[in-house]
Structure 1
Amino acid sequence: MPNLQGNRTLTEWLTLLLGVIVLLVGLFFVIGGADLAMLGGSTYYVLCGILLVASGVFMLMGRTLGAFLYLGALAYTWVWSFWEVGFSPIDLLPRAFGPTILGILVALTIPVLRRMESRRTLRGAV
């Protein structure tokens, strides 16, 4: 149970770790996606990477906005995947499986992020 003194619970530490992972994946997407876009490839990776970087930063700040940004990026990933390969399960798997698994983990952090936000509000920080 979190307290007002700022001690973090295990679930909060795991949420912050997930935020770091999302941030690093986002940076990888932005850097690699920029190279790909300059070669004439899809801009999906740059746009999705920007969303993931923002998501990771907000998760590290303990904001639920981070989780919702990730879920928005996941929706964008599914739309892009269907647009790129259609409804072929074998072609969708490499594009959507990893982000969806990560999305499930991110969705599970929403209650933790809400608790972190409410604790910050109780301490008077905005």
Structure 2
Amino acid sequence: MLSLEELITMSRSPENLMHHIMLGVVFPLEHDRMAGLFRPRRASEWATCAVAVLLIVLGLPLVIMGTELALLGGSLYYILAGIAIVAGGILMLRGSVAGALLYLLAWLLTWPWALWEVGFDGWALLPRLLGPTLIAVLVVLTIPVLRHLQKIAMAEKDIA
């Protein structure tokens, strides 16, 4: 990891400095052993990061608004699903297949919840299941990339 002085010298302008700081914070160089995050190099790794960030961005409002709903006497589903989705996104950013599997578990448990809540009314099921199912397809597509990243991380541990 670069020191702050090296980063400032290398950047040469405030815009480049901010760009390098963002890259270093969000995607540390190669594999940051402290944070466990990986730096995407290939398009498939960038796509995996994008899906992981999407999960976090969609999961946080579920946790926040789900808490408000639960305090009003509503379902705890939104809090639990939101926590699982955010955790899945974080694990995926760390290059772990467990993150994808956690999202898929949350998606799988969404089906019985939706059927319990609205029955077999297709129009009422559509908003509860379509979005999560489309995201589940994206998450499934990230599994081979995450497996590859885990193999790389295991190889680095064996070398170190």
TM over 0.5: yes
TM-score, reference length from structure 2: 0.73
Q: Which residue of 2 aligns with 1:97?
A: 130
| Structure with the larger RCO, 1 or 2 (CA within 8 Å, 6+ apart) | 1
Q: 2:82 aligns with which of 17, 35, 49?
A: 49
The one-character-per-residue Cα deviations of 1:100-121 (angstroms, maximum 9, x if unpaired) are: 0000000111001000110111
What number of residue pairs does the alignment pair up?
A: 121
- Segments of structure 2 that go 5 or more residues without pairing to the other structure are 1-28, 31-39
The one-character-per-residue Cα deviations of 1:44-103 (angstroms, maximum 9, x if unpaired) are: 100000100110010000100000000000011111101101111111101000000000
Q: Which residue of 2 aligns with 1:67?
A: 100
- Segments of structure 1 that go 5 or more residues without pairing to the other structure are none
Q: 1:81 aligns with which of 110, 114, 121?
A: 114
> 3-state DSSP class of the match of 1:13?
helix
TM-score, reference length from structure 1: 0.92
Aligned-CA RMSD value: 1.4
Q: 2:52 aligns with which of 19, 27, 30?
A: 19
Partners of 2:112 and 2:81 in 1: CA distance:
12
Partners of 1:117 and 1:12 in 2: CA distance:
12
